[in-house]
Amino acid sequence: MSSETLLQVQRLLSHYTPSTNNVSVLRFNEDLGMDSLDFVELVLSLENHYHIHIPDQELTAVQTVQDFVACVDRHVASSRPWIRSLFL
């Protein structure tokens, strides 16, 4: 899980998150009280920020912040394969 992506998600969730150190385990609906429109806004914001597209069917499996960050990271990595070569 990318710390940059996690920080970006935490920033976007700042008005939803309770005071906790471990935001990654929080569930969007149950713990953060986000409805489906809130979640779509979060997804669109991250897709625009990273210039990626996450298919809806993949998002249905996302339950926690950690799930979402991992999903975003996968798409960022696959959309920019040249980045991995910089660190090899």
Which tokens is 40 given?
């779509």
Among this protein's residues, is 73 annotated catalytic? no
- Catalytic residue (choose from 35, 56, 67, 73): 35
List, for residues 7-65, the tens digit of each pLDDT value: 888 888 888 876 666 888 999 999 999 999 999 999 999 999 999 999 999 999 999 99
Q: Give the CATH number of the domain where residue 11 resides.
A: 1.10.1200.10
Q: Which of 29, 73, 27 is nearest to 49 (CA)?
A: 73
Residue tagged 């609906």 (tokens): 29
Domain span at residue 50? 3-86
Which tokens is 67 given?
């799930």
Rounded Cα gap, residues 65 and 27, in angstroms: 6
List, for residues 50-87, the tens digit of each pLDDT value: 999 999 999 999 999 999 999 999 999 888 665 545 44
| pLDDT number for residue 20 | 65
- The total of structural domains in the chain comes to 1
Rounded Cα gap, residues 69 and 8, in angstroms: 9
Q: Hey, CA dihedral for 57, 63, 65, 71, is it positive or negative?
A: negative
